[in-house]
């Protein structure tokens, strides 16, 4: 998982509230393997018209926002189903952080587990940032995870909260597997001790007593 420390990047405003995960990536694309590139499916039905052409009105299709790595949205972003593919789609099209007043709970957790930083800011602050980004297409935001601030185009910094455990995991670039592997020595020691104390545990298909030569239950 890529570390997240400090990001200064173009930010795109998305004013729609209640953007569910099916809008982020329609369910019909979830059958594709992840290595096919989920970024191409991100906001597909908002971004692509029925004739296959891009909708020039959709914010991420506009030239000033094509390289956006931060998305500033309205309330309840990522609601709906729990599909992890929604996070993969956002990451695939270059988004590293989403700023919103609120998120769907499971989507929020999926972001943190995949290295995408979800930032909660009060609704008036998020709306003000979106207004500034509309007024100055291509403007940047700076997200400082150690300092827990989002700095807008006007230079004003806004504080946000984040769980300390998840913050540290993002700073170190550790997903759940990485966090587990940090305890590799302890895991190896446990397995060696278990193999010595419970030798029957490695015998496949036998109950403990049978493996030890006892009655076959």
| Sequential DSSP letters for 162-213 | --HHHHHHHHHT--HHHHHHTTHHHHHHHHHHHHHH-GGGGSTT--HHHHTT
Share of the chain above pLDDT 90, in %: 74
Instruction: Please report the pLDDT score of residue 69 as a whole number.
Output: 98
The CATH number of the domain where 72 resides is what?
3.20.19.10
How large is the average pLDDT for residues 13-30?
96
- Number of domains comprising the chain: 1
Is residue 41 situated within a structural domain? yes
Task: Give me the pLDDT at residue 6, please.
Answer: 98
Domain containing residue 84: 6-174
Query: Is position 56 within any domain?
Result: yes
Residue 212 falls inside a structural domain: no
Asked if the structure places residue 182 within a domain, the reply is: no
User: Which of 72, 101, 103, 74 has its CA nearest to residue 86?
Assistant: 103
Q: With H, G, I as helix, E, B as strand and everything else as coil, classify residue 52.
A: coil
Residue 205 counted as domain residue = no
pLDDT score, position 211: 46
- 80 burial level (CB within 10 Å; 0-12, 13-18, 19+): middle
> Would residue 181 count as lying in a domain?
no
Tokens of 21: 């995960």
| pLDDT per position as a tens digit, 88-138 | 999 999 999 999 999 999 999 999 999 999 999 999 999 999 999 999 999
The mean predicted confidence, pLDDT, of the chain is: 89
Here the tokens at position 115 are 């290295």
Residue 214 lies in a domain: no
Neighbours of 17 (CB within 10 A): 15
Q: Is residue 101 part of a domain?
A: yes
Contacts of 80 (CB under 8 A, 6+ apart): 20, 21, 22, 104
pLDDT digits (tens, 9 = 90+) for 26-72: 999 999 888 878 999 999 999 999 999 999 999 999 999 999 999 99
Residue 179: predicted pLDDT: 63
> Environment class of residue 185 by beta-carbon count within 10 Å: exposed (0-12), middle (13-18) or buried (19+)?
exposed
């Amino acid at each position: 998982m890529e570390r997240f420390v400090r990001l200064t990047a173009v930010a795109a405003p998305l004013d729609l509230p209640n953007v569910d995960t099916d809008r982020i990536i329609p369910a019909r694309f979830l059958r594709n393997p992840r290595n096919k590139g989920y970024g191409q499916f991100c906001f597909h039905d908002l971004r692509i018209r029925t004739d296959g052409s891009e909708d020039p009105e959709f914010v991420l299709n506009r030239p000033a926002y094509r390289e956006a790595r931060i998305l500033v949205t309205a309330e309840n972003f990522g609601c709906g189903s729990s599909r992890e593919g929604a996070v993969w789609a956002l990451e695939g099209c270059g988004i590293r952080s989403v700023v919103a007043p609120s998120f769907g709970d499971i989507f929020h957790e999926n972001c943190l587990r995949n290295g995408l930083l979800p930032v909660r800011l009060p609704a008036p602050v998020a709306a003000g940032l979106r207004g500034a980004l509309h007024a100055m297409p291509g403007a940047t935001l700076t997200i400082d995870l150690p300092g827990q601030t989002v700095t807008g185009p006007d230079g004003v910094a806004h504080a946000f909260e984040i769980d300390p455990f998840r913050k540290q995991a993002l700073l170190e670039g550790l997903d759940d597997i990485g966090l587990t592997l940090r305890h590799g020595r302890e895991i190896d020691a446990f397995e060696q001790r278990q193999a010595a104390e419970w030798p029957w545990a490695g015998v496949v298909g036998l109950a403990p007593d049978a493996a030890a030569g006892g009655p076959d239950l």
